[in-house]
Amino acid sequence: MKKVFILFGSSGLLGASAVKYFLKQDYDNYYIFSRKPLKGRNFRTIIVDDLTLEENVQDGFDKISRSKNNFYCLLNTIGGYRGGKSIADTSLSDWQKMIDLNLTTSFLIGKYFSLLCKSGLGGSLCMISAASAINPQINKGAYSISKNGINYLTKILALEGKEINLSVNAIAPYAIDSSENREWIADKSLLVSPADICILAENIFKNSRLFTSAIFELPFLSK
């Protein structure tokens, strides 16, 4: 069996950390999806632009080598935040932006990753959700609803994936530790480092037979 690692979203804070982390892990092949070429010898960069367009996603997946002996692991870090307004004050364009950027891209990646896994031994898909998708917060409506859609998508893909040995899980951080988030979050214990997210994702991949349909909230907050 050959282990193949695939990353979407390498230009963001989490994605850039994932590149550094996963290249040190034990995979036979690496495919990094990016808007611009990346320097490195141990991986292949697949240039993509707008991932809300199905033809772009399909074309990108067509560039991944297929083999009946491949087991695929995909970390999807594509997404973004636009908030700070109530539902009543949210424009339709902002609503659509969040749905497209977070949910539509995840749907397309999940769709074509499922087809890819059918060509091999199966795979493991890890999405990035958000804590506010589990515990609703005001003034984050469009963002949280789009991320809650990822949670539901995760569970549907997990059910469908049983027939092709595909496990699907999601990680839901409260907020990723960044300079921007440190400005508005008073309780710094709620911040989750990109490294910790990568470590959890790798453990999900290593234990793909044990975990599927799970939403891992970080940090764990006892109710």
Q: Could you read off the pLDDT of 46-98 as tens digits, one per residue?
A: 999 999 999 999 999 999 999 999 999 999 999 998 878 999 999 999 999 99
Give the mean pLDDT of the chain: 94
Query: Which band of pLDDT confidence, cut at 50, 70 and 90, is reported for residue 220?
Result: low
Alpha-carbon torsion angle 203, 164, 103, 27, nearest 10: 40
Domain count, the chain: 1
pLDDT > 90 fraction of the chain, expressed in percent and rounded: 84
Residue 223 lies in a domain: no
User: So what's the pLDDT on residue 21?
Assistant: 97
Give per-residue pLDDT as tens, 107-160: 999 999 999 999 999 999 999 999 999 999 899 999 999 999 999 999 999 999
- Judge whether 117 lies within some domain: yes
- Whole-prediction pTM: 0.95
Query: Comparing C-alpha atoms, which of 212, 111, 118 is closest to residue 169?
Result: 212
pLDDT at 9: 94
pLDDT given for residue 183 in this prediction? 82
> What is the CATH classification number for the domain harbouring 70?
3.40.50.720
Domain that holds residue 17: 2-218
Q: At what angle do helices 105-118 and 54-62 cross, to 10 degrees?
A: 30
pLDDT confidence of residue 223: 42
Decide if 72 is inside a domain.
yes
- Report the alpha-carbon distance of residue 118 to residue 166 in Å, rounded: 9
- Residue 129 resides in a domain: yes
